[in-house]
Amino acid sequence: MSLLQIYNVSKRYEALAVLDDISLEIDRGEFVCLTGRTGSGKSTLMRLIYMEERPDRGQVIVEGYSSERIRRREIPALRRKIGVLFQDFKLLRERTAYENVSFALHVTGTPRREVRKRVTRALTRVGLGHKRDAFPRELSGGEQQRVALARALVNEPILLLADEPTGNLDIEVGQGITELFQQVNYQGTAVLMATHNLGLIENMRIRRVHLADGRLTGDIESGSE
Ligand SMILES: Nc1ncnc2c1ncn2[C@@H]1O[C@H](COP(=O)(O)OP(=O)(O)O)[C@@H](O)[C@H]1O
Ligand SMILES: [Mg+2]
């Protein structure tokens, strides 16, 4: 069974058909880049995968949880397996890097020792082990984004959903973040990254899918020619 299966999904907002009969499959450990212009439906697709919304037609299956059958009380368990990272990543300003990453774990009642272990590992994974006590204002934009990435990784998700994660960053910083995603991916986490910035990935050998006019096209590997 693959990690994510999307079968013939359509989604509209009133008169606007955003997704029109889309199918996509992502395997464990894969890295897929979802491209498409602003307004093409990338975020909508991400929300369907995170089960924040349901498709009008078709089915989304994540780790065996189907959008047609999942119960409301099963959604938190599913979401613990998915890390999310958005362009507008908000860190708590009055909390250190460590506290920002550990916050969600305290909420779910994870034992203290386990919290320490996971937070340390997540910060190390993003190369910020030495900045654990820094406040957001003491970190650069790229470093803040890496704290947000550590927060997304702290539950050791099997899938990372990154929606325009480099949107507010300089191109070089954005490329650094993208390389970090690749490292995260080498360590076994599947990544679905949405971006309208094709320049960011032009030299990367990754699977690409493209959204335009509601359709998903061009399931191609970039940089392979
Ligand atoms: N909740 C909503 N209600 C109405 N229209 C929406 C809603 N969410 C998104 N849209 C519209 O759907 C289209 C796709 O949006 P979105 O998925 O955010 O695209 P992208 O992430 O590729 O920029 C846009 O035209 C947007 O205005
Ligand atoms: Mg979007």
DSSP 130: G
Average pLDDT over every residue of 174-190: 89
Domain regions of the chain by residue span: 1-81+159-225, 90-156
Ligand 1, atom 3: closest residue by C-alpha: 13
Ligand 1, atom 2: closest residue by C-alpha: 13
* The predicted structure's pLDDT at residue 40: 96
Decide which of 166 and 114 is more confident.
Answer: 114
Residues in the chain: 225
28: CB partners within 8 A, 6+ apart: 2, 3, 158, 188, 190
Residue 42 has pLDDT above 70, yes or no: yes
Is 29:185 a contact under the CB 8 Å cutoff?
yes
Closest CA to 137 of 199, 191, 84, 91: 91
Percent of the chain with pLDDT over 90: 75
In the chain, how many H helices and how many E strands? 6, 10
pLDDT tier at 170, thresholds 50, 70, 90: confident
Residue 202 has pLDDT above 80, yes or no: no
Which of 13, 22, 47, 210 has the most ligand 1 atoms within 8 A of CB, as the residue to mutate?
13
Ligand 1, atom 1: closest residue by C-alpha: 13
Q: Which CATH architecture has domain 1-81+159-225?
A: 3-Layer(aba) Sandwich (3.40)
Residue 225 has pLDDT above 70, yes or no: no
pLDDT tier at 179, thresholds 50, 70, 90: confident
Residue 131 has pLDDT above 60, yes or no: yes
Question: CB within 6 Å of ligand 1 — which residues?
Answer: 13, 16, 18, 36, 38-44
Ligand 1, atom 6: closest residue by C-alpha: 13
pLDDT tier at 13, thresholds 50, 70, 90: very high
Ligand 1, atom 27: closest residue by C-alpha: 39
Q: List the alpha helices (DSSP H) in 37-132.
A: 42-49, 75-80, 97-107, 112-125
Distance in angstroms (rounded) separating the CA atoms of residues 197 and 139: 25
Which of 20, 34, 43 has the most ligand 1 atoms within 8 A of CB, as the residue to mutate?
43
* The predicted structure's pLDDT at residue 221: 53
Cα 50 off chain centre by:
9
Q: Please tell me the pTM assigned to this model.
A: 0.92
Average pLDDT over every residue of 30-34: 95
Rounded distance from Cα 16 to ligand 1 centre (Å): 9
72-106 per-position pLDDT tens digit: 999 999 999 999 998 777 899 999 999 999 998 87
What mean pLDDT, rounded, does the chain reach? Answer: 91
